[in-house]
Amino acid sequence: MMADAGPDAMYVAGGTDLYPNMKRRQQTPKIVIGLAQLAELRAVDGKPTEGMVLGAGVTLSDLTGHRHIQHAYPAVAKAAELISTPLLRNMGSIGGNLLLDTRCNYYDQNYEWRQAIHFCMKKDGDICWVAPSSPRCWAVQSSDCAPVMVAIGAKVRLISSSGERLLPAAELYNDDGIRHLTKRPDELLAGIHLPRVNGWRATYWKLRRRGSFDFPVLGVAAWVRLAGDGTVEDARIVLGGVGSSPMRVAGAEKAIAGKKLTEDTIREASAAAYPVAKPLDNTDFAMSWRKDMARHYVAGTLRELAGLPPSFPPPGGDAPFGLPVLPA
């Protein structure tokens, strides 16, 4: 069907991202191909000891409620559970979440609002209102599950009439607010392959204004494999919500590789997150505060994985899901 429909068509799964975007005329497909009734996309297969495959159409509610996902992949379950609201999680799929459009305060507005500012280069215009001299768009990668899939080393299977390919989740994303996916428009995301669980651990922390529901303005996914004596054999630390793609913090990974997770090594790793996080003024909260929070959140995730007591939020802070809300 997609091959016949050509470039004017788009897939839709739960529609919780695409339909609001169509109402705002940000995305304007002439043909919409529904995936919700494809049973093959709704299956969860495999075992944690061998690796699991999530059909792209599995709803976020089914994902968070799945016994193996809760126990063996708690970072995936937690990220999915922190997305939007129960009603939207009943409709929204994991595939749609990984392919979520990038977001920006100048773009996520109705047509008339955007027309009044002569649009922007992501849709219908030719300027970026966030960085007017910039040749590129800085709209923000805002999927909660994307940084987690990159951190745990998941792979995605893409299918089209010309063949199929399996690529690391990290390679699904481009650091560009407009061409943010390497997936071709004609490719169907069929499944997400989770690696087997063999001693690694991972977690995800999300920063947002409202604990009830909100897109992330910072997400930190951390993955470590520890030797028997607690030495870090391998690590991946990935930031979401502070760039146009999930961003690995190589300096933080290097700071803990071959060492134990101690107060000192965690401090060094979290400091490395500060220069990597480059939020701009196009989502919620002051960008300098979000940048600063990146180091606290990296420290928080690593402390959790090390089994150290949390140093953050400060005593008395309101902490839905173990996370802070606004500073006083």
Sign of the alpha-carbon torsion through 63, 65, 67, 72:
positive
Number of residues counted as binding ligand SF4 (CB under 6 A) = 14
Considering CB under 6 A, how many residues would be counted as binding ligand FAD? 32
Beta strands in 177-245 (DSSP E): 188-194, 200-207, 218-226, 232-240
Residue closer to ligand FAD (CB basis): 245 or 265 = 245
* DSSP tag of 117: T
Nearest-5° Cα angle at 74, 69 to 80: 80
Subset of 159-188 contacting ligand SF4 (CB under 6 A): 177
- Tokens standing for 302? 């690593």
Nearer to ligand FAD, 14 or 243 (CB): 14
C-alpha of 139 from chain center: 14
Instruction: Return the CA Rg of the chain.
Output: 19
- Provide the mask over 38-67, with x wherever binding to ligand SF4 is found by CB under 6 A and - wherever it is not: ------------------------------
HSE toward the beta carbon, residue 61, CA cutoff 13 A? 9
Which residue from 48, 55, 98 is spatially nearest to 200, judged by alpha carbons?
48
Q: For residues 325 and 249, is the Cβ–Cβ distance under 8 A?
A: no
Nearer to ligand SF4, 133 or 212 (CB): 133
Binding span for ligand SF4 by CB under 6 A among 88-96, 116-124, 180-188, 283-291: 116-124
Location of structure tokens 């960008």: 287
Binding-site partner at residue 93 among ligand SF4, ligand FAD, none, CB < 5 to 8 Å by type:
ligand FAD
Give the three-state DSSP class for 160: strand
Question: Which of ligand FAD, ligand SF4, none sits in contact with 235, Cβ below 5 to 8 A by type?
Answer: none
Residue nearest to ligand FAD (CB): 96
Which of positions 141-200 make contact with ligand FAD (CB under 6 A)? 142-144, 188-189
Candidates 106, 173, 205, 215; binder of ligand FAD (CB under 6 A) is 215
Contact status: 219 vs ligand SF4 (CB under 6 A): no
Using the rule CB under 6 A, which residue among 69, 100, 221, 256 binds ligand FAD?
Answer: 100
> Before 313, cis peptide (omega within 30)?
yes
Residues 62 and 64: their CA atoms lie apart, in Å, by 6
**Residue 26: contacted member of ligand FAD, ligand SF4, none (CB under 5 to 8 Å, by partner type):** none
Q: Which does 104 bind (CB under 5 to 8 A by kind): ligand SF4, ligand FAD, none?
A: ligand SF4
Which stretches of the chain are DSSP H helices? Answer: 2-5, 18-23, 60-65, 67-72, 74-81, 86-91, 94-98, 111-116, 145-152, 250-256, 263-276, 287-306
**Residue 152 · residue 75 · CB < 8 Å:** yes
Site membership for ligand SF4, residue 139 (CB under 6 A): yes
Nearest approach in angstroms of CB 109 to ligand SF4 is 10
* Residue type present at position 17: D
Work out whether 294 is an interface residue with ligand SF4 (CB under 6 A): no
Binding residue (CB under 6 A) for ligand SF4 from 59, 64, 141, 282? 282
Q: Taking CB under 6 A as the rule, does residue 63 contact ligand FAD?
A: no
Q: Is 242 in the site for ligand SF4 (CB under 6 A)?
A: no
Note the residues at the interface with ligand SF4 (CB under 6 A): 104, 106-107, 120-122, 128-130, 137-139, 177, 282
Note the residues at the interface with ligand FAD (CB under 6 A): 10-18, 20, 35, 56, 60, 83-84, 88, 91-93, 95-97, 99-100, 142-144, 188-189, 213-215
